[in-house]
Amino acid sequence: MKKLFIAILFLGLNLSAQDFTVEKISGNVQVLKSTSEKYENVNQGDKLNGNDLIVTDEKSFIQLNKAGNKFILQGNSALGLNYLKQISINDLLLALAREEIRRVPKNEGNGNSRNTAVYGEEIRKDSPNSKIDDKMGIKKLNGAKQLAENGYKESAVLVAKETYRKYPSTKNKIDERIYFADILVDLTLYSEAFEEFNEIRKAAPNNEVISNKIEKLKIEIEN
């Protein structure tokens, strides 16, 4: 009886840990499964898991429910569901260090780039089409902002950092980069924020807002 109870409990935990239920949907919303190279339409009542990538068109949205926690992804957005979770500051710092390592170009011998999950798990191949990639980069930044707005600030920073690496054109969106660097300040990660703002300044050397933020961070770090 005891073994049966443990087995049932374990099964229940596994099911609740991996399933997202699509509660509401409007417009065109698609999902890229971790085991597929083809996007599929999402319908109300579908079950998604943490390895899936959801993408919404303009004027679309999807409401997800996982164990009673609801999340709405608005239009013109993309989000890997592996990021839809709370992570600790220590895990954030570890993931940022790994992301920094990934910035170094590496030839894997096959020319393919991979979309990497929070802790290094590969979940999908990125498109080789640059125009599609640019649009996807913007959608991922939009998804990252919605993570931050819903209390997943640490995850939002990771999505943004990964997006800058995989979709380099998004580095030119200075306002968005400032937005995510400010989150590092909110998290009191002053050294990381200082480095990020210095990187942003390379793309916008005459931006006074960035210069002022860097000076304020210098004071925080010295104190």
Which pairs from 158-161 meet CB under 8 Å and 24+ separation?
A: 158/83, 158/87, 158/92, 158/95, 158/96, 158/99, 158/118, 159/79, 159/80, 159/83, 161/96, 161/99
Q: How confident is the model at residue 189, as a pLDDT?
A: 97
Q: Report yes or no: 92 and 157 within 8 Å, Cβ to Cβ.
A: yes
- Give the model's pLDDT for residue 55: 98
Model pTM score: 0.80
What pLDDT, on a 0 to 100 scale, did the predictor assign at position 10? Answer: 41
- Chunked in runs of 10, what are the mean pLDDT values of the chain (223 residues)? 43 54 97 90 95 96 95 98 95 93 63 42 46 85 98 97 94 96 97 96 95 96 91
Give the pLDDT score at 100: 86
Residue 65 and residue 21: Cα distance in Å, rounded? 5
Spatial strand order of the sheet with 53-56 comes to 39-41, 29-32, 53-56, 77-80
Q: 204 phi and psi, to 5 degrees?
A: -140, 70
